Structure 1
Amino acid sequence: MFTWISALFLILALIAEILGTIGGFGSSVFFVPFAGFFFDFHNVLGLTALFHLSSNISKIALFRKGLDKRLLLNIGIPSVIFVIIGGLLSNFFNATFLTIALGLFLVAFGALFLLRPKLVIPPKKYPSIAGGAISGFSAGLLGTGGAIRGLTMAAFNLEKSAFIATSAAIDLAIDFTRSIVYVSSGYVNKSHLIYIPFLIIIGLGGTYIGKRILVHISQENFKRFSLILIVIIGIISILGIIFNWKIDM
């Protein structure tokens, strides 16, 4: 049964998709901590993977110009391999540990790029493979890895549409793979399946809205705002565990 709390969750999912599209970090960096206030962390992993499938299909459709095949191979293949490893390892950690780890990751990532905004990984084959592996592992274990992949891809100076489409294509392969791992691990609860159609619509609509906003706003300035928001969300996630902040659905 839907309540105002269910509506609040879906509104936050829409905000996460819009922010993730404009900031270039992917919606999971916002969606995972948002959803963590409503669901167990392992259930969040399952919902995130399914939500991302529709989100990335829409990104590819809207930003399909100039997919970079070389990056699809160098970053995509290790990402898919290591998302399986991260997803399987998530079975061995409880939700509290994973939530704290996610909060620390968000704070560290946001602070690093606020202090070093020009930081990039060298645009070479082996750093790209390493970046893909780390982003895939993070996506499998913590639910979000797009930020690390974005760092890796930024060094190649892709045109904006090509950057988003290539990242989304890699993410699509990651999400399809980890969805299988999460479903087999029991992370997708039958009672949560009612949200999937709404999340699919939100994935499409949020990407479209983000694209329209991106035309009228400086991506560099918005990234700074997004990074500050990521740090705040990370801190709130950690405090939520300490003070047991939870919203019952």
Structure 2
Amino acid sequence: MKNISYLFLLLSLLAEIFGTIGGFGSSVFFVPIANFYFDFESVLGLTAIYHLSSNLSKIVLFKKGLDKKLLINIGIPSVLFVILGGLITKIFMNSFLELFLGIFLVSLALLFLIKKKLIITPNKRNAIIGGSLSGFSAGLLGTGGAIRGLTMSAFNLEKNVFIATSAFIDFLIDFSRSFVYYYNGFIHEHDLKYVPFLIIIGIIGTLIGKKILNYIPQEKFKQLSLSLILIIGIVTLTNVLLK
């Protein structure tokens, strides 16, 4: 079709596959990729719409693994703070915030990969703090899944439980911020041509990711998630420095 970047769609598929395997959603890959093709406001709008279908797919495929307690402790503060983050998006310099997020993700991922026995205490307080930070980051920068992934990894969840719970929280976040981004004027008519493709990619990428996940041993799952977060941080930093 006219003026459609097929390379962008291919990269979006890869983002969905890796996001499914990592358990924290594709936005952590999708946002840095989309920044190379669209202005930041369009990236936020597309990410929210795209993720609604993507996370619905994960909820259907992994629905038996939902952790209701974490859904409440992480999900409620995530929704509240994604609204706050989305509303103040226009106030802050996006490049500074992206740089800060990249440094934060790289530092924390390296810390947990090197100090393998060091974990966040799996309690209600840390779950609420992690949910608040991930929601605020999602509203402000378009991606907060990696922060939520770091928080949830402390609870050493079985991989299907991890993915199902993370996807449900992500769906609530995307549903909420879609209205905020629409209010901000971030959902542009000329970008909507990509939405049908991204919806299909979200479903296919989730299916492929689930198939691959069946071959990943449980003991390696947490290390894989942290490695993917490290890559996300590096890509974010690279994207900021190249601008």
Global fold match (TM > 0.5): yes
Q: Which runs of 4+ in 1 moved over 4 A?
A: none
Name which of structure 1's ranges 110-119 and 169-178 shifts more when overlaid on structure 2: 110-119
Identity among equivalent pairs (%): 61
1:96-132 Cα deviation digits (max 9, x unpaired)? 3444344434433443443344543222222211111
Aligned with 1:230 (options 222, 229, 232) = 232
Is the Cα contact below 8 Å between 1:106 and 1:230 reproduced in 2? yes
Secondary structure, in 3 states, of the residue corresponding to 1:92? coil
Partner of 1:48: 47
Inter-partner Cα distance in structure 1 for 2:93 and 2:187: 16
Where in structure 2 are the equivalents of 1:1-249 lying within 5 Å? 2-3=2-3, 6-218=5-217, 219-220=221-222, 222-223=224-225, 225-241=227-243
One-letter amino acid of the structure 2 residue matched with residue 172 of structure 1: F
Is the Cα contact below 8 Å between 1:113 and 1:119 reproduced in 2? yes
Give the superposition deviation at 1:192: 0.3
Extract unaligned runs of 5+ from structure 2. none
Is the Cα contact below 8 Å between 2:109 and 2:229 reproduced in 1? yes
Is the Cα contact below 8 Å between 2:27 and 2:145 reproduced in 1? yes
1:27-65 Cα deviation digits (max 9, x unpaired)? 111100000000111211111111111111000011111
Count of aligned positions:
240
Is the Cα contact below 8 Å between 1:107 and 1:234 reproduced in 2? no
| Cα 1:228/1:99, change in 2 over 3 Å | closer
| Cα 1:235/1:155, change in 2 over 3 Å | closer
Give the superposition deviation at 1:217: 3.1
One-letter amino acid of the structure 2 residue matched with residue 161 of structure 1: N
Inter-partner Cα distance in structure 1 for 2:156 and 2:240: 34
TM superposition score normalised by structure 2: 0.90
Inter-partner Cα distance in structure 1 for 2:139 and 2:33: 18
Is the Cα contact below 8 Å between 1:40 and 1:95 reproduced in 2? no
Inter-partner Cα distance in structure 2 for 1:101 and 1:224: 18
Is the Cα contact below 8 Å between 1:84 and 1:140 reproduced in 2? yes
Give the superposition deviation at 1:154: 2.1
